[in-house]
Amino acid sequence: MFVIHKMASSSHPLFTSSLRFSTTHSPSSFSPSLLLNPISKHPKFRSFYLFKKPHYRFLSSPAAVAVDPATTVSGDDRKASDDVPKEVEKVVLPTNESSPALLKIRHTCAHVMAMAVQKVFPDAKVTIGPWIEHGFYYDFDIEPLTDKDLKKIKKEMDRIIGRNLPLIREEVTRDEAQKRITAVNEPYKLEILNGIKEEPITIYHIGNEWWDLCAGPHVETTGNINRRAVQLESVAGAYWRGDVNKPMLQRIYGTAWENEEQLKAYLHFKEEAKRRDHRRLGEDLDLFSIQDDAGGGLVFWHPKGALVRHIIEDLWKRIHSQCGYDLLYTPHVAKADLWSISGHLDFYRENMYDQMKIEEELYQLRPMNCPYHILIYKRKPHSYRDFPIRVAELGTVYRYELSGSLHGLFRVRGFTQDDAHIFCLEDQIKDEIKGVLDLTEQMLLQFGFDKYEVNLSTKPEKAVGDDDIWVKATGALKNALNDKGWAYEVDEGGGAFYGPKIDLKIEDALGRKWQCSTIQVDFNLPQRFDITYIDSNSEKKRPIMIHRAVLGSLERFFGVLIEHYAGDFPLWLSPIQARILPVTDTQLEYCKDVTEKMKASGIRVELCTGERLPKLIRNAEKQKIPLMAVVGPKEVETESVTVRSRFGGELGTMGVDDFIRRIKDAVDNRTFV
């Protein structure tokens, strides 16, 4: 569920900011002095943020991370209300899983909408209309719809709801269902009927006026729906059955809730998600682009975005080196035969680019890094004494995605996986998995992610490998999770055919879950590539191979970070940490000296001039620069700067060396100046 709080800011004169914090940690000990000093070296305090106005917190569970959806931007972008009540108000947004009543409402709304569409547009043909995470949709074979049409449809829906028509379930034979569908000339429904294997066929009627093939569930009458808690959101094109060779349909999306308060809270959440959209922020902050001239799904990292990427990569490499991984670089292409051995050409061909011929041999852009790491393993014989062997690579891979599925940084055609493989013995699996979990936690905490959803997937019906090794490997994964103390859900039979796995989803500032980390035991590739080692009895044995990724891909993780921080990167991660702003050109030479001194200290700083000071400040705020150092005649005279923090407000005048020290301390401790 989502929980939304309204909170008022502190009245302390130096503390004109509200706090964003993980709700598992108490803010009671937080002091105004922390505006000028590091908060704490303890990882639990790394998710604190400072803002200037009251804010909402969106929680997907009681332990989620709180956010400021309306006040992390400055100037005209601010949308928070100044009259937020001081008392805390809560609005709980249930899910389809937590509220059976809500699921029935949404499913019924899809039927009501379809009925309304056919009343407004009698020639419309209906297809399917399921409930979804935040509402429902229905696909229609109809001429393109406009926003004006949606208003007409919603008005008709309100009439149907107001008539309090009963939802009546009826069971019919397949022949009877076919007869009725043919009579009303609904060809798509006929195709749906042919795909239903169960008998009898169930139909739901709205009064005596409209019906649909459906298994339910539904509310008892349309009057059980609060029409003020229902809203039609958008219309989009969608191919029938997702096939580009089939007709283009009109898909109408709607949202439905139990009451008006929930709808308002959801709309606020939706607006906040829109404001955080990484595609818009990526353009506004000049972080990345996807160029039509180069092709869809191919990411161009601009200087600022590339700086953030370098910081992430450096952190990743340092942590992996500390954890005993050897870092690799491998080619972007290989002979097609390699992908035949790995099985990708048999099972993954539709996601691979076409092969290219080079000197009469076929080559393939890599969709995965795994075979390369295996080839490095195979370059020499191994003994049981060599294990575990850990190798890691930031390897760029290429996968064919339909243009319609591409989505900013979240769905691309070329991306860099933070890929690693561990070769170990059977009795080392648990310790290696535990080590991966520890590394994952260490890495994710750097970015403030400390809420995880963990799933363990076990042996499917069809699988490679003996039952004995499956039992041992699955038990090792469970024991590692238990030792870690992490709660997890078991997906029985949900593992890949080649081994059990652990999937970890991180929770962002809006309570949304993002799949990032994966740990996968593999019994298949070692067999396909015939990799071996010599055991203590001088016999050849097959090692265990573990695939793992922590961030998933740099592109997708960067997109998550942009939306999590709303573009307001913490000081240590911000591409530009400070701007030097002269009041007039008279202070320009001194500002150049300050800029060079800060750069020499490893601080990412830039000097901006050519505009009046208010505009320089506003530009820095719009670009979400964490720190501004204003320099006037007094600062030149005293060899100082007057500092303004995006998160902490005015910090006063301080010496340049003191300013540098505070920035470096804050970066080292993942805090703010």
Any idea what the CATH number is for the domain that residue 645 is in?
Answer: 3.40.50.800
| Boundary (domain end) residue, out of 543, 565, 587 | 565
Q: What is the pLDDT of residue 197?
A: 85
Indicate which residue of 418, 419, 450, 503 is catalytic.
Answer: 419
Active-site residue, 370 included: yes
Active-site residue, 501 included: yes
Indicate which residue of 399, 548, 579, 604 is catalytic.
Answer: 399
Domain for residue 281, yes or no?
no
Alpha helices for 416-538 (secondary structure H): 429-445, 467-484, 525-528
CATH code of the domain containing 538: 3.30.930.10
Q: What is the pLDDT of residue 48?
A: 27
Q: What is the pLDDT of residue 86?
A: 34
| Cβ pair 542, 526 in contact under 8 A | yes
Whether residues 221 and 105 fall in one domain: yes
Whether residues 348 and 412 fall in one domain: yes
Indicate which residue of 189, 218, 344, 370 is catalytic.
Answer: 370
Indicate which residue of 189, 320, 421, 548 is catalytic.
Answer: 421
Active-site residue, 197 included: no
| Boundary (domain end) residue, out of 532, 565, 598 | 565
What average pLDDT does this structure show over 247-251? 94
Domain for residue 8, yes or no?
no
What pLDDT band is residue 463 in, cutting at 50, 70 and 90?
Answer: confident
**Residue-range definition of the domain harbouring residue 639:** 578-669
Active-site residue, 419 included: yes
Whether residues 469 and 584 fall in one domain: no
Q: What is the pLDDT of residue 349?
A: 87
Q: 265-289 pLDDT, tens per residue? A: 999 999 999 999 999 999 999 999 9
What pLDDT band is residue 85 in, cutting at 50, 70 and 90?
Answer: very low
Domain for residue 81, yes or no?
no
Indicate which residue of 134, 501, 579, 644 is catalytic.
Answer: 501
Residue 611 structure tokens: 């505009």
What pLDDT band is residue 580 in, cutting at 50, 70 and 90?
Answer: very high
Whether residues 257 and 319 fall in one domain: no
- Rounded to an integer, what distance in angstroms lies between the CA atom of residue 17 and that of residue 520? 44
Whether residues 176 and 292 fall in one domain: no
Indicate which residue of 250, 364, 417, 520 is catalytic.
Answer: 417
More confident of the two residues 79 and 538:
538
What pLDDT band is residue 673 in, cutting at 50, 70 and 90?
Answer: low
Please give the C-alpha separations between residue 669 and each of 39, 296, 354, 496, 565, in angstroms, as whole numbers: 8, 39, 48, 40, 18
Nearest CA among 168, 149, 280, 161 for reference residue 229: 161
Whether residues 431 and 301 fall in one domain: yes
Domain for residue 91, yes or no?
no
Q: What is the pLDDT of residue 672?
A: 66
Whether residues 166 and 298 fall in one domain: no
Q: 483-507 pLDDT, tens per residue? A: 999 999 999 999 888 899 999 999 9
Nearest CA among 517, 524, 492 for reference residue 503: 517
Q: What is the pLDDT of residue 90?
A: 65
Q: What's the whole-number average pLDDT of the chain?
A: 86
671 — phi, psi (to 5°)? -125, -170
User: Is residue 383 packed enough to be buried (19+ CB in 10 Å), middle (13-18) or exposed (0-12)?
Assistant: exposed
Whether residues 186 and 332 fall in one domain: no
Whether residues 408 and 296 fall in one domain: yes
Domain for residue 23, yes or no?
no
Lowest-pLDDT choice from 46-50, 106-110, 574-578, 596-600: 46-50
- Rounded to an integer, what distance in angstroms lies between the CA atom of residue 37 and that of residue 32? 9
| Boundary (domain end) residue, out of 271, 297, 326 | 271
Domain for residue 89, yes or no?
no
Counted domains in the chain? 3
Q: 175-206 pLDDT, tens per residue? A: 999 999 999 999 999 999 998 888 899 999 99
403-418 residues labelled b (16+ CB within 10 A) or e (exposed): eeeeebbebbbbbbbb
Whether residues 420 and 535 fall in one domain: yes
Q: What is the pLDDT of residue 652?
A: 95
Domain for residue 417, yes or no?
yes
Q: What is the pLDDT of residue 501?
A: 95
CA-CA-CA-CA torsion for 205, 211, 216, 222, nearest 10 degrees?
A: -50
DSSP result, 595-660: HHHHHHTT--EEE--SS-HHHHHHHHHHTT-SEEEEE-HHHHHHTEEEEEETTTEEEEEEEHHHHH
CATH code of the domain containing 256: 3.30.980.10
Active-site residue, 302 included: no
Whether residues 429 and 529 fall in one domain: yes
Whether residues 412 and 311 fall in one domain: yes
Indicate which residue of 547, 556, 646, 662 is catalytic.
Answer: 547
Q: What is the pLDDT of residue 647?
A: 81
What is the model's pTM? 0.80
Domain for residue 9, yes or no?
no
Alpha helices for 456-524 (secondary structure H): 467-484
Q: What is the pLDDT of residue 402?
A: 85
